[in-house]
Structure 1
Amino acid sequence: MALAERALTEINPAVRNRILILDVERVSGISQQQWWDRGDLKNRYIHHETVIREPRTTIVCAKFYHDAEVIRLAEWDKGGRARFLKEVHALMSRADIIVGHNILNADIPWLEGDLYFPRIGHRHKPNLPPLPPFKTVDTLRVARQFKSGVHFKSLNALCQILEIPAKTDVYDREAMNRAVAGSVEDRERLTEYCAGDVIATQGLFDALRPYIKNHPTLYVDGQHSLTTCNRCGTETEPSPRRYIANVLSYAMRVCPNCGGYSRLSFEPERMTIVRGV
């Protein structure tokens, strides 16, 4: 089965994990700079005391995997930034798994910083408790496992390659500045742009999921939870192949839905007692 043909392979509706697809948008930072020559600005370190405005998250869009609705949250909604961050915290607290594109280097650390630390340039001082633990799936890291086999790894590029509905707009830094200043048109445009990325991310997640060997375990009620596919929650089937390690071999199973392979870690059959030295 071709990779693009698997884009419609969805997670079993009986899966009980709460899987949150998430994307954020931010406003850029502003700092003072003193310089004698334009070359002085190259790779210049930004000192804390020169910061006028720190970058901060202004929009969060998300949806739980099996829900149709995309949740839209923004700091300019009723209640301001205080309510915005509380709602983001509550949303993330409900998730067992959070999925996004480049979330491990971007969205997650950005949000955790916003939830716990005040941002220069905004008067709000958050006072929120630590988030409960959750697992993550970063579709960018999944794409990187193909290395040079996939030349373009941005969300938009991957969606176009796999023929998944992708971005219909581009991020505009000046539009975000106008949105923060009060522009209703720019607020609506940027929020819809963020929501579109959530839909695109779920499509990419569905397409790449069979290739996520370390996908967090999915729980389905029933007698056969030990043989449930860890990628899509479907009951797996025995495979004639075996997973061969240096000393032991393991029974393997294959998912009839997504095609992903898994191995059983219990009662392995011993292949040999010989080790290379």
Structure 2
Amino acid sequence: MGLADDLAEEKLHTIRKGVLNKILILDVERIPGITQQYWWDRGDLKNRYIHYETVLRAPRTTILCAKWYDSDEVIQLAEWDKGGRKRFLKRVHSLMKQADIIVGHNVDGADLPWLAGDLHIEGRLPPLPPIKSVDTLKVLRKVFKGGAPFKSLDAFCQIVGIPSKTDRYDREAMERAVTEKSIEDRERLTAYCVGDVLATQALYDWCRPYIPNHPALFVEGKDKMVTCHRCGHDTKPIPRRYVANIMSYSMRQCVECGGYSRISIEPERLSIVRSV
């Protein structure tokens, strides 16, 4: 039984079939940069500023694995594929511009800024259209804070019972994959990245009730006022009201993920659904 089969057995809050948004789960692997260092004693190296003139190799993304939320296929792209790095960046750009929402663990702090540099500065590719992101690390930090002292993808998945990583990132393996063209290391690192994508989707489903600012999901033929914007399932009215500083609002709860939303009806604007 593989990791994907294990994830399917977990009780997670999956998105309703028929959601129109294109959701891309994404993870990247990189090779570190190399710089020259001149020093008189070891203390000179502490917090040493890196000057551009001393850079021998800039860090760069070498592997990107991703899957559309509603597909079982994991897309595997690498700079050593046919066509080389130039084609790799174009394929990544083409994939990302199809997405409405990109999901990842620390995707806002790492993957997306890294890719922006690779695609637009190095690759000279045009800007991507506006894309919403859901960063599961931000969700854990905001909701649980010190209540979840271990927030890495691997650690938190283990804590909540989600099958997670079966390997670790190996810098030396990446060096061999790039400089020595080691097939074994390339396959190993790509498989590691695939595992992160599968674990990220499962964590995303687990986190769903705790994402009040999730981008709205739309289901064809369904009233967006009474469907859950987190998962697209139906919601039901509840007697509890959301109390703000000046007024209170009626509330609904998702019948699948259990997330809450408030119905805001004000004379100055149309009714909208807001998370709580």
TM-score norm. by structure 1 comes to 0.91
Q: What is the CA–CA distance in structure 2 between the aligned matches of 1:167 and 1:7, rounded to whole Å?
A: 19
8 Å contact from structure 1 (residues 179, 187) kept in 2: yes
Q: Residues 6 and 207 of structure 1 are in contact (CA less than 8 Å); yes or no, is this contact kept in structure 2?
A: no
Q: CA deviation at 1:88?
A: 0.3
C-alpha separation in 2, matches of 1:234 and 1:188: 38
1:159/1:166 contact within 8 Å kept: yes
Any idea what the Cα deviations from partners look like across 1:73-127, whole Å, max 9, x if unmatched?
0000000001100010011001000000001110000001000122xxxxxxx23
- Is the Cα contact below 8 Å between 1:58 and 1:75 reproduced in 2? yes
Matched-pair contact (CA < 8 Å) for 2:139–2:210 = yes
How far apart in 2 are the matches of 1:54 and 1:127? 16
Residue 23 of structure 2 corresponds to 19
Structure-2 residue corresponding to 1:169 = 167
Report whether the alignment pairs 1:246 with 2:245.
yes
Q: Taking every aligned residue pair, what percent have the same amino acid on both sides?
A: 67
2:152 is aligned with 1:154: yes
Q: Which runs of 5+ in 2 are unaligned?
A: 1-8, 268-276
Letter in 2 for 1:76: W
State whether structure 2 residue 80 is matched by structure 1 residue 80. Answer: no
* SS of residue in 1 equivalent to 2:193: helix
| Aligned-partner Cα distance in 2 for 1:266–1:139 | 31
Determine whether 1:264 maps to 2:263: yes
Which whole-Å CA distance do the structure 1 matches of 2:203 and 2:11 have between them?
7
- Counterpart of 1:230 in structure 2: which amino acid? H
> Residues 215 and 231 of structure 1 are in contact (CA less than 8 Å); yes or no, is this contact kept in structure 2?
yes
Alignment TM-score, normalising by the size of structure 2:
0.91
2:23 is aligned with what amino acid? Answer: I
What is the correspondence of 1:120-269 to structure 2 with a 5 Å cutoff? 126-145=123-142, 146-181=144-179, 182-267=181-266
Structure 1 CA distance for aligned equivalents of residues 266 and 113 of structure 2 = 40
- Relative to 1, partners in 2 of residues 1:159 and 1:223: Cα closer, same or farther, differing over 3 Å? closer
Q: Deviations over 1:24-59 (max 9, x none)?
A: 000000000000001110100000000000000000
Contact 2:63 2:77 in 1 (8 A): yes
Question: Structure 1: which 5+ residue stretches go unaligned?
Answer: 119-125, 269-277
Matched, 1:99 2:103: yes
CA distance in 2, matches of 1:7, 1:184: 37
Counterpart CA distance in 1 for 2:140 and 2:108 is: 14
Shift of 1:225: 1.6
Q: Residue 184 of structure 2: SS of its match in structure 1? A: helix
Name the CA distance, whole Å, in 2 between partners of 1:265 and 1:197.
38
Checking the alignment, whether the CA contact within 8 Å between 1:59 and 1:72 is kept in structure 2 is yes
CA distance in 1, matches of 2:11, 2:83: 39
Count residues in correspondence: 257
2:47 to 43, 68, 80: 43
